[in-house]
Amino acid sequence: MHRLRWLLVLILCTGLIAPAFAADEPAGLQVGQEAPAFRLEDQNGKWVTPADFHGHYLVMYFYPKDFTPGCTTEVCTFRDDIAKLRKAGADVVGVSLDDVKSHAEFAAKYHVPFPLLADSDRSVSTTYGVLKSGSHYAKRTTFLIDPQGKIAKIYEDVDPEKNSGQVMSDLAALKVAP
């Protein structure tokens, strides 16, 4: 019995049976893939879709919850960098599972000059693969979407204070790349 356990551990650790499990899991979004469509309401009650940003880069960042320390840091950093981001040809939207009312209060308190989108039914967070398993929160993940609607960059487990700067650096690099 002892040898059988070790054999099972060895098989699992070497990944010999991982493909069988991987087939049951949804594939994550990849760079170069078409960004999934969405239609969400912002803090002002306006419906927002990807077509609103056609011809521009779109920074679509998912965050866990309005008024929490990390999320406040992140929204304020994007707010402070919005002029530079727009000059680089990018628009910004924040997305969480909070409702429109919460976003309106959050945006008003921190003078947010870009849409905060309410994904209250979790559909967009699920489609983008950022819904925390067994949770009522989105993972802190940012997607940089190019002017043609394709995913140019994915940032996972981002640092709320550094995310905007990372995006600006990558925007500069993408604009000079052939």
User: What is the per-residue pLDDT for 133?
Assistant: 76
What is the pTM for the complete model shown?
Answer: 0.82
State the catalytic residue, choosing from 48, 58, 60, 71.
71
Handedness of CA 4, 10, 15, 18 (dihedral sign): positive
User: What is the per-residue pLDDT for 17?
Assistant: 36
Kindly report, residue by residue over 64-88, the tens digit of the pLDDT: 999 999 999 999 999 999 999 999 9
The residue among 178 and 106 whose pLDDT is bigger is 106
pLDDT range class, residue 134, cuts 50, 70, 90: confident
Active site residue 71: yes
How far apart CA 45 and CA 100 sit, in angstroms, is: 7
pLDDT range class, residue 22, cuts 50, 70, 90: very low
How far apart CA 126 and CA 117 sit, in angstroms, is: 14
How far apart CA 40 and CA 10 sit, in angstroms, is: 47
